[in-house]
Structure formats: structure tokens, C-alpha cells
């Protein structure tokens, strides 16, 4: 099948003045989605599946940071340099810095092809800034998809993860076990449990996530944009559930089941 050239997201990953090789074509009703979900609910996988299906740009702030870390110092904007400096110190990047970084990529949000925002907004302040930016162009979000999973299930998922100390591949003790116990399938490196994936650390991370996102979730609920999706089952099941719910949004376009 000769699909359209996939958007390379150069403008998002590198920031101005980079241009994407394929600018999304104008659509009648592009999807403009925000994805929310605690660590471990599988949000990243859903973002990829949705990006493909909805033909929108996957705007992940995590990807921006990863891309920036690999670039030369002189290629980075002041906002990006500041953000990386906080990260190097192991500190949380402040709201205003994250917003500066997103704002210098605002045409990715305001373009005609739609987007799937992943990792942003994280706080109420960022959500208000995003609403203001989009409002200036008379745009609004189609929905805020919130992936929900009980805490004990998240702990079970994350604490089963094992990471390769050499190539960083991730396995799961029960869901995606390596062929040989504790040995990486790809490079034969030793698998270990990251500090972050220990049950105690997972609980702490989840508490922090809940505290910071509760006001954000309320904000979108009040705006009638919140779309809660149960994140149980396989990635395919979660994806099917998401598409079902998006289909039922009166204001959104119909998503074809297969093409």
C-alpha cells in the first residue's frame, strides 16, 4: 500500500526553524487530542497506535527532550537549554520552561492536520496556557483521553519490568519474558529491575502523579472534554476501546474501522 509520507515531526523534535518533510494535508475535522495516564498504563503505545490511525502528529514532550539531549549545544533554543539543565540536575522542569518549549513549537499545535499531545499538559497552568494558545486561533481540543487503571494493577505491571543493562531493552517477567531468564534476547546482557520499577518507588511515583494531575482532570471534566478509558487488557483491546469512544463523540469525525 502506498500510504502518504509519514510526518517526520522535525518541527516538533527540533523546534524552529526546522520544517517537517511532509506537512499534513488539511482535514475537515482533524483530531486534537490530549492523552493522560499514569506511568504504566501503556499511554505511549496508545499514542503510537492513535497517531497511525488518526493520521495526526504525535507531539510527545518526552521525545522532544530525548531529541534535544542528542543535539549540539548551539542548536538548542534558550528554553531547551534551560530544560536540559534542570534535567541534568535531576530536578523537575518548571511549568514556565516546559511551556516556553511547547510555545516555540506552537505551529505544530495550530496546524491543520491535528495532533496527539502526550506528556503535556502536566499541570493546570500548562492546560490553561494551551487553551489560551488554541483559543487565539479559535481552536479547541476534540477530547482529553484519560487512561485509567487500578493502582495495584499498575504496580504489578511496572514491578514486573526488567531492563537490559547493556542495550536498555525492556522485558516483563510474566507478560514479555526473555527466552532465558534474566538474560537479554537481543544482546545477552544482564536484566535487572530499575530502582524506579520497585513496588515502593512505583507507589511513590503514582502518588505524585495523582496529586499533580487531579486538578488537571477536574479542569477538563468541567469543560466536558474528559474521556475516561479503562486501560485493562492488551494494547489492542485498549486501542479498540479508545476508537469506539472517539467514534461516539458527537462533535468528532467518524473514524473508519480499517483502512
- Residues 162-191 binding Zn ion (CB under 5 A) are 164, 166-167, 169, 184, 186-187, 189
Contact 86, 41 (CB under 8 A): no
Q: How far is the CB of 36 from Zn ion (least distance, A)?
A: 31
Q: How far is the CB of 82 from Zn ion (least distance, A)?
A: 34
- What is d(CA 24, CA 111) in angstroms, rounded to the nearest whole number? 8
Clarify whether 122 is annotated catalytic: yes
The residue among 9 and 162 lying less far from Zn ion, judged by its C-beta, is: 162
Q: How far is the CB of 7 from Zn ion (least distance, A)?
A: 30
Q: Which of 122, 131, 157, 162 is catalytic?
A: 122
Clarify whether 161 is annotated catalytic: yes
- By CB under 5 A, residue 214 contacts Zn ion: no
H or E segment and range at residue 229: strand 226-230
Sign of CA dihedral 45, 47, 53, 59: negative
Cβ burial 208-231 (10 Å sphere, 16+ → b, else e): ebeeebeebbebbeeeebbbebeb
Q: How far is the CB of 176 from Zn ion (least distance, A)?
A: 13
Contact 77, 104 (CB under 8 A): yes
Rounded to a whole number of angstroms, the distance between the first and last alpha carbons of the chain is 10
The residue among 172 and 241 lying less far from Zn ion, judged by its C-beta, is: 172
- What is d(CA 36, CA 148) in angstroms, rounded to the nearest whole number? 9
x/- mask, Zn ion, residues 138-167, rule CB under 5 A, reads --------------------------x-xx
CB atoms within 10 A of CB 18: 14
Tell me which DSSP letter residue 196 carries.
G
| Site size for Zn ion (CB under 5 A) | 8
Q: Which of 9, 53, 161, 162 is catalytic?
A: 161
User: Which residues contact Zn ion (rule: CB under 5 A)?
Assistant: 164, 166-167, 169, 184, 186-187, 189
Q: Which residues are catalytic?
A: 43, 122, 161, 194, 205
Amino acid at each position: 500500500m502506498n500510504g502518504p509520507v509519514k510526518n517526520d515531526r522535525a518541527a516538533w523534535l527540533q523546534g524552529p526553524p526546522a520544517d517537517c518533510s511532509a506537512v499534513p494535508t488539511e482535514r475537515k475535522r482533524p483530531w486534537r487530542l490530549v492523552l493522560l495516564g499514569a506511568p504504566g498504563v501503556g499511554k505511549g503505545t496508545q499514542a503510537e497506535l492513535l497517531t497511525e490511525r488518526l493520521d495526526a502528529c504525535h507531539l510527545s514532550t518526552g521525545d522532544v527532550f530525548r531529541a534535544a539531549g542528542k543535539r549540539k549545544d548551539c542548536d538548542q533554543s534558550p528554553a531547551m537549554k534551560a530544560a536540559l539543565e534542570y534535567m541534568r540536575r535531576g530536578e523537575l522542569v518548571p511549568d514556565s520552561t516546559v511551556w516556553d518549549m511547547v510555545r516555540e513549537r506552537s505551529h505544530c499545535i495550530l496546524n491543520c492536520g491535528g495532533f496527539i499531545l502526550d506528556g503535556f499538559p502536566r499541570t493546570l497552568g500548562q492546560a490553561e496556557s494551551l487553551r489560551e494558545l488554541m483559543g487565539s486561533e479559535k481552536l479547541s481540543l476534540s477530547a482529553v483521553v484519560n487512561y485509567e487503571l487500578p493502582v495495584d494493577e499498575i504496580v504489578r505491571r511496572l514491578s514486573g519490568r526488567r531492563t537490559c543493562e547493556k542495550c536498555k531493552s525492556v522485558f516483563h517477567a510474566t507478560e514479555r519474558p526473555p527466552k532465558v531468564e534474566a538474560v537479554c534476547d537481543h544482546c545477552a546482557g544482564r536484566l535487572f529491575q530499575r530502582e524506579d520499577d520497585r513496588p515502593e518507588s512505583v507507589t511513590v511515583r503514582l502518588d505524585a502523579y495523582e496529586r499533580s494531575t487531579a486538578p488537571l482532570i477536574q479542569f477538563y471534566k468541567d469543560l466536558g472534554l474528559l474521556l475516561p478509558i479503562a486501560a485493562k487488557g492488551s494494547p489492542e483491546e485498549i486501542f479498540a476501546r479508545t476508537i469506539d469512544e472517539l467514534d461516539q463523540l458527537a462533535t468528532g469525525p467518524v473514524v473508519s474501522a480499517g483502512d
